[in-house]
Amino acid sequence: MSDIISQDIERVLISEEEIETRCKQLAAEIEKDYDDRQIRPIVVGLLKGSVPFMAELIKYFTHPIEIDFISVSSYQGTQSGGDVKIDKDMDLSSQGKNVLIVEDIVDTGRTLAEVRKLFYNKGAQDVKIVALLDKPDRRVVDIQADYVGFTVPNEFVVGYGLDFNQRYRNLPYIGVLKSEIYEQYC
């Protein structure tokens, strides 16, 4: 942990190696489920938090798949809340498709509940969710990801796509920031 970004990290929760290993397992599990159903997913990442996870995950799919992104907003600072707004829609159509939503973390569940509804309203045939992290203690909406990388405790985490005030997404692992970093922004 000698690089500059890591100096702001109090604790590593999940290492880069653990994430890579889990992504391989998840991709195999997901692909098998779709194979069994004889369908292919269109993999749709929620910007921006899903980007590193999605990039790692899709490397291990063995079929040629479509990918796309959407951007929704609902989150500021360290508290989830408010309505979800679609800022950038997909380029490809999801009509009649089997959408696999890729998300960084399921926290209150509000974002995913809204996004899942949106895809069904747009005529998706099937909507599944894969999330790198799940924070079940924070859930206010009854929603579960179909595939979860890791369950984390009720702590604010950064890295591997997850940000604090738009920073730390490039940290190559999941960690907890030192308290003085939050204090700088209060």
Catalytic residue list: 107
Q: Is 148 in the site for ligand IMP (CB under 6 A)?
A: no
DSSP notation for 87-113: EE--SS--TT-EEEEEEEEESSSHHHH
Q: Is 159 in the site for ligand IMP (CB under 6 A)?
A: no
CA-based nearest residue to 83, from 126, 105, 115: 115
- Closest separation in Å from C-beta 168 to ligand IMP: 9
Give the residues across from 150 on adjacent strands: 133
Minimum CB distance to ligand IMP smaller for 33 or for 146: 146
Q: Is 157 in the site for ligand IMP (CB under 6 A)?
A: yes
Contact present, 147 and 102 (Cβ < 8 Å): no
Dihedral angle computed from the Cα positions of residues 177, 81, 14 and 45, in that order, rounded to the nearest 10 degrees: -130
Q: Say what angle helices 16-36 and 51-58 make with each other, to 10 degrees.
A: 60
Helix (H, G, I), strand (E, B) or coil at 7: helix
Q: Is 111 in the site for ligand IMP (CB under 6 A)?
A: yes
Q: Is 70 in the site for ligand IMP (CB under 6 A)?
A: no
Minimum CB distance to ligand IMP smaller for 39 or for 141: 141
| Residue from 44, 106, 115, 145 in contact with ligand IMP (CB under 6 A) | 106
- Closest separation in Å from C-beta 12 to ligand IMP: 15
| Residue from 75, 126, 150, 169 in contact with ligand IMP (CB under 6 A) | 75
CA-based nearest residue to 78, from 153, 14, 139, 165: 165
- Closest separation in Å from C-beta 160 to ligand IMP: 10
d(CA 186, CA 2): 27
- Closest separation in Å from C-beta 179 to ligand IMP: 15
Binding site for ligand IMP (CB under 6 A): 49, 74-75, 80, 103-111, 156-158, 162-163
